[in-house]
Amino acid sequence: MRSLLTVRKVLLSVAALIVLAALISVLGGSMIWYLGGAHRLDIDGTAQTTARPAATIDVGGGWGYYGGDPGGHRYSRAAEITASNVALLAPAWEYRTGDLTDRADHMERAATEGTPILAGDALVFCTPFNEVIALDPDTGGERWRFDPRIDLGQDPANQFVCRGVTHWRDADASAPCASRIFMGTNDARLIAIDAATGDRCPGFGDRGEVRIDPGMPLLWPGEFQITSPPVVVRDTVVVGSAIGDNARVLAPAGSVRAFDARTGVARWDWDPIPRTANDPAALTWQGAQPPIEGHANAWAPMSVDEERGLVFVPTSSPSPDFYGGLRPGSNRHANSVVALEAETGHVRWSFQTVHHDIWDYDVPAQPGLYSVWRDGALHDVVAQVTKTGFVFVLDRDTGKPFLPVEERPVPQNGAPGEWLSPTQPFPAAPPPIVPNRLSADDAFGLTLFDRLQCRARITESLAGGLYTPPSERGTLLYPFTGGGANWGGAAYDPARNLLIVNMNSVAHHIQLIPAEQVNAMRKVFHDQEVSPQAGAPFGMKREVLLSPFGVPCTPPPWGVLAAVDLSTGKIVWRKALGEMGGVTLGLPSLGGPIVTAGGLVFIGATMDDTLRAFDVATGELLWRWQLPAAGMATPLTYVWKGRQYVVIYAGGNPTAQGRLGDTLIAFSVPPQ
């Protein structure tokens, strides 16, 4: 379950951006800030950082995992590309998957979010339709491709998505299919592929695949998917799921499932929602026993600490998102970072980022397993970026806050029958990366007319700040359900203790609808999101808070890139990310950053179809390249035959209404 469908809906329409660009060019860049009203977020402050001894850094070799390494650093020791030569960076090769022509009829339902991995001597990635392709890392030439032939007639709840694949080597190098690629599919299969040939591994499951049973009949084909890469700990492969939001209360369970990496035999499954009264978490689920709700699934990427034998799982909200009166209590393990023992699936510890979530504030990104340099020593932590704009930094062994977290009172007076947590966890450090309170004075507009319209929308809604409960009147969620942060996650520079993260700053208007009125509202608002939340007393209507011109009513920047010192929680620098009409307004983004030992941050993600490089210490923009479509995926970097490459999958996103593509592009500095 996730709200990425809505983050895609927020991505500004092309028509609105054309209007915006035209107005900027006519009025001048400075005028846009006057028209926009209050601009409360300082995005220009910078501070210098000090690198720690290189001997303490033991990550960043190659890019053998979705997040660079099992802990998701998204960091590389490659240093051939630096601030002094990044201006020379240019395309070295391109590879077209053929989706734009071969699957043209389905591209409007496909999101290109994949990050390749360097598996042995091949660059391996998956397309949105779960084709797995292996390329020569030096030339981009195709080695092999595998097509699982997913059902393209299904209606995927979260679009056709494949963020990545996983590589595993059997300790017995002589075993059949000893080097294999694992992938989860949009039609809920876990498939094992021979990394050398692209053939199925016949000893795994049924002819190379295991079909995941969602546990109940689906409302429609596509309600249950796998969109993020599996993880492997020793010889156990673990997979989560993505499940359609807000259709019903009694929905598929968000179980995390583990299988033998050689045979595909099931080893364990863990349901975040307690189903027995003797489960210690049951005390925090005070409704029906056992609970009737589903989900709390792990749709975002997971992380692995092989030494500790732990899988770190980011869980989402229970079903449905916007009414929780049937599940009183804090709902432990939902909306949490959970450390599971890879051998058994037992919970080692769990930290909840949102109590009793009724805002769709899933934990949306891979937990970062980093070592923070403080007081002359390294401290193993888990850093979790969130949709609310917060960053929680936890001790990796205990789950207790490494940087302080406070329980603070939050708004009450929910809908009839609702249960609300009186407090929510707020990090004392770092401060929020993006704002979380919106007033009428903050209303943005291109003209006085649409600014006044935005003011009126804010005034007529409940806008009590973060954690204001959904209502029949209409409530503003700020940040919106797409973040803050989302699946792109963060990158970590271990030499500087710097966490690099991109976040969005847009609002949602959420309105609860009495159940008996949902069908009528669907007819009236047939072109908007109206969901039944069947089994609950309320359905819901969700829309991005936009002006009549289709531009966010929230003040820019609508997207930022920030660096946080994880030893202190201080925001070292914060910049608007993305531009239009020559003005750096900051645009909503999908995808994440990477960091290199060359002192650079690379990130695509934005709607302006641009790959950028920033100075990691200061946030200074150093280089940019126009892509054939938006690079709404996380890039990777690697060194091959002494040459460093930066690669991004440029495919765009159909609901961003921009150009679509099917191109993998590799950049390098040309030989001198």
To which residue do tokens 């009126």 refer? 456
State phi, psi for 565 to the nearest 5 degrees.
-80, 110
Orientation of helix 29-36 relative to helix 14-27, angle to 10°: 110
The CB density around residue 169, as the number of other CB atoms within 10 Å, is 16
- What is the rounded distance in angstroms from the CA atom of residue 123 to the CA atom of residue 657? 29
Strand order in the sheet with 529-531: 475-477, 508-514, 538-544, 529-531
Residues serving a catalytic function are 360
CA distances from 303 to 313, 332, 424 (A): 7, 20, 25
Q: Please report the DSSP string for 452-467 in residue order.
A: HHHHHHHHHSB--STT
- What is the rounded distance in angstroms from the CA atom of residue 11 to the CA atom of residue 482? 10
DSSP label at residue 233: E
3-state secondary structure of 238: strand
- What is the rounded distance in angstroms from the CA atom of residue 378 to the CA atom of residue 353? 25
The CB density around residue 322, as the number of other CB atoms within 10 Å, is 30
- What is the rounded distance in angstroms from the CA atom of residue 595 to the CA atom of residue 602? 7
Element containing residue 574 per DSSP (H, E): strand 570-576
- The amino acid sitting at 138 is D
- What is the rounded distance in angstroms from the CA atom of residue 544 to the CA atom of residue 529? 10
Q: Which of 74, 193, 182 is nearest to 143 (CA)?
A: 193
Burial of 406 (0-12, 13-18, 19+ CB in 10 A): exposed
Q: Which residues of 415-444 are buried (b: 16+ CB within 10 A; e: fewer)?
A: beebbbbeebbbbebbebbbbbebebebbb
3-state secondary structure of 520: helix
Q: Please report the DSSP string for 125-188 in residue order.
A: EE-TT--EEEE-TTT--EEEEE-----TTS--TT-B-----EEEE-SSTTSTT-EEEEEE-TTS
